[in-house]
């Protein structure tokens, strides 16, 4: 039994027989740091000095066809064209407003299949954000090649190299930084280290800070492996990854990213029969999968599908367990740090277990995190350092989430937050699952592979 393909509802749209994959890359990454000291303010990176170039990629059967699209447009809202028309890239040469730190950019265009003449409306979105020094001023930025084109001759396999930069106010910090790399679902067994089967098979290798080939880290350890080299056979359509960086003081920071193999013959298409926009957070969207091999639609009667959710900030999230939290619980108070205790005003029907995951949202809706549970009663939940790839951005102040909302996810441990379906059955996603914006991934699992 193995995963034959991975699909993603928010990054591409398929309407005809040719697989179409669309996404946007950012030359300066996704995050700016804003610093204010008396009368002096600064941004890092500063888009007014070196613009952040946003480039759209649209692949059909391994070929980038973005320049062939008609009606290309860029906007700050879906359907808008306020940022540009008839171009495949735009420049963001103004800094993000610190008062409005989330900046969404949308690309749209129409692709006409040269064989069928069917028109596919393609859209992709990217989110830039601004953080203030003193709060999230230190972060991990992943740069490098995030797209692999398979070698059609069957010779030496192609690869992509991604690099993790620990960013501070002064720039990239490479002093005494060590790293860990993980593939989804990010449990300890998923660390790409010396005993991981895919590392042993040569699908992954590493480079150190100097750019030289480095040995794989020993099982569960940290090492100077600043760059990860991903071979094409390591990725099935879309590979989901997590990198952690630890500084000399022992502080740990992390970032999620994706690597795409645009030459895989299998393709998952996710259909949203009743649209993909929730009105005022209400309603249910039914997502139905299809699996295609080239231009042939596959019988999925015996397939199973694993669905995963990421939040508006690109962090690992999950689907709400409506049996345990049919409605959000109000957070009456909480402590801080990696073992923070969240107290709720109305008791749960039963106490969560270690390995469960909670979603907490601040009262103003600006902060959202998913924390793993260490222990709990029906009214008090203690979190832990992540074992399965959820957030380590612990509460820094007792006011961060007071008065906010708390939910419990489906599943436990490595499968926390996930849902599964079989055959052509639809996945029901509710407005409670999505906080502003959510990205749904779907793994198609063929029992005969």
147: pLDDT strictly greater than 60: yes
| Confidence grade of residue 20 (pLDDT, cut at 50, 70, 90) | confident
Please measure the distance between the N-terminal and C-terminal CA atoms of the chain and give it in whole angstroms: 5
Enter the tokens of residue 300. Answer: 């999925």
Enter the tokens of residue 290. Answer: 């299809």
* Phi/psi-derived region of residue 157, left when phi > 0, alpha when psi is between -120 and 50, beta in every other case: beta
Enter the tokens of residue 200. Answer: 């042993």
- Cβ atoms 348, 321 nearer than 8 A: no
Return the pLDDT at 439.
Answer: 84
CA pair distance 21, 19, nearest whole angstrom: 7
Which residue has better confidence, 402 or 237?
402
- Cβ atoms 239, 259 nearer than 8 A: yes
Return the pLDDT at 154.
Answer: 55
Which residue has better confidence, 70 or 273?
70
Closest-CA residue to 367 (of 342, 329, 395, 339): 395
**Would you call 29 helix, strand, or coil by DSSP?**
coil
Q: What is the mean pLDDT of the chain?
A: 86
Question: How many CB atoms are closer than 10 A to CB 219?
Answer: 12
- Cβ atoms 251, 236 nearer than 8 A: no
> What tens digit of pLDDT does each residue of 340-380 get?
999 999 999 999 999 999 999 999 888 899 999 999 999 99
Closest-CA residue to 84 (of 57, 47, 60, 54): 54
> What tens digit of pLDDT does each residue of 281-313 get?
566 888 899 888 777 788 899 899 999 998 877
Q: Which residues make Cβ contacts (< 8 Å) with residue 134, sequence separation at least 6? A: none
CA pair distance 43, 2, nearest whole angstrom: 45
21: pLDDT strictly greater than 90: no
126: pLDDT strictly greater than 90: no
Closest-CA residue to 320 (of 288, 364, 284, 294): 284
Task: Give the chain's domains with CATH numbers.
Answer: 138-264 (2.60.40.2410), 329-414 (2.40.30)
| Confidence grade of residue 14 (pLDDT, cut at 50, 70, 90) | very low
- Cβ atoms 162, 228 nearer than 8 A: yes
- Cβ atoms 442, 307 nearer than 8 A: yes
Closest-CA residue to 141 (of 96, 177, 93, 183): 177
Closest-CA residue to 151 (of 24, 230, 86, 62): 62
Which residue has better confidence, 278 or 368?
368
pTM over 0.75: no
CA pair distance 65, 99, nearest whole angstrom: 37
CA pair distance 25, 13, nearest whole angstrom: 17
Average pLDDT estimate for 400-408? 95
| Confidence grade of residue 417 (pLDDT, cut at 50, 70, 90) | very high
Return the pLDDT at 277.
Answer: 57
16: pLDDT strictly greater than 90: no
């Amino acid at each position: 039994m193995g995963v034959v393909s991975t699909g993603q509802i928010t990054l591409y749209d398929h309407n005809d027989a040719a697989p179409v994959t669309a996404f946007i890359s950012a030359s300066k990454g996704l995050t700016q740091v804003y610093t204010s000291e008396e009368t002096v303010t600064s941004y890092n990176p500063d888009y007014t000095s070196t613009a952040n170039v946003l480039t759209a990629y649209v692949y059909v059967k391994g070929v980038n066809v973005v320049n062939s699209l008609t009606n290309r447009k860029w906007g700050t809202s879906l359907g808008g064209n306020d940022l540009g028309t008839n171009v495949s890239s735009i420049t963001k040469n103004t800094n993000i407003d610190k008062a409005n730190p989330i900046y969404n950019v949308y690309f749209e265009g129409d692709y006409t299949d040269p064989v069928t003449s069917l028109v596919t409306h393609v859209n992709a979105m990217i989110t830039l954000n601004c953080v203030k020094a003193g709060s999230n001023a230190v972060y991990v930025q992943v740069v490098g090649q995030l797209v692999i084109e398979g070698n059609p001759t069957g010779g030496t396999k192609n690869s992509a190299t991604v690099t993790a930069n620990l960013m501070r106010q002064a720039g990239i910090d490479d002093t005494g930084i060590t790293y860990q790399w993980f593939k989804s679902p990010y449990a300890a067994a998923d660390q790409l280290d010396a005993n991981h089967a895919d590392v042993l098979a040569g699908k992954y290798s590493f480079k150190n800070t100097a750019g030289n080939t480095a040995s794989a880290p020993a099982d569960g350890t940290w090492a100077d492996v600043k760059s990860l080299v991903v071979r094409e056979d390591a990725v099935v359509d879309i590979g989901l990854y997590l990198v952690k960086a630890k500084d000399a003081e022992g502080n740990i920071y992390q970032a999620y990213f994706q690597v795409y193999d645009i030459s895989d013959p299998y393709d998952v298409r996710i259909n949203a029969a009743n649209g993909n926009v929730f009105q005022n957070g209400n309603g249910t969207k039914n997502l139905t999968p299809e699996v295609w091999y080239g231009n042939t639609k596959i019988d999925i009667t015996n397939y199973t599908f694993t669905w995963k959710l990421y939040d508006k900030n690109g962090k690992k999230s999950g689907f709400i367990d409506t049996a345990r939290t049919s409605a959000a619980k109000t957070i009456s108070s909480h402590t801080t740090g990696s073992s923070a205790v969240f107290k709720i005003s109305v008791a749960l029907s039963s106490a969560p277990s270690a390995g469960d995951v909670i979603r907490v949202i601040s009262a103003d809706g600006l902060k959202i995190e998913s924390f793993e549970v260490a222990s709990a009663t029906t009214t008090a939940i203690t979190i832990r350092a992540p074992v399965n790839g959820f957030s380590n951005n612990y509460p820094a102040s007792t006011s961060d989430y007071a008065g906010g909302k708390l939910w419990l996810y489906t599943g436990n441990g490595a499968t926390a937050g996930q849902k599964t379906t079989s055959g052509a059955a639809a996945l029901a996603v509710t407005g409670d699952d999505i906080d502003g914006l959510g990205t749904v991934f779907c793994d198609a699992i063929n029992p005969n592979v």
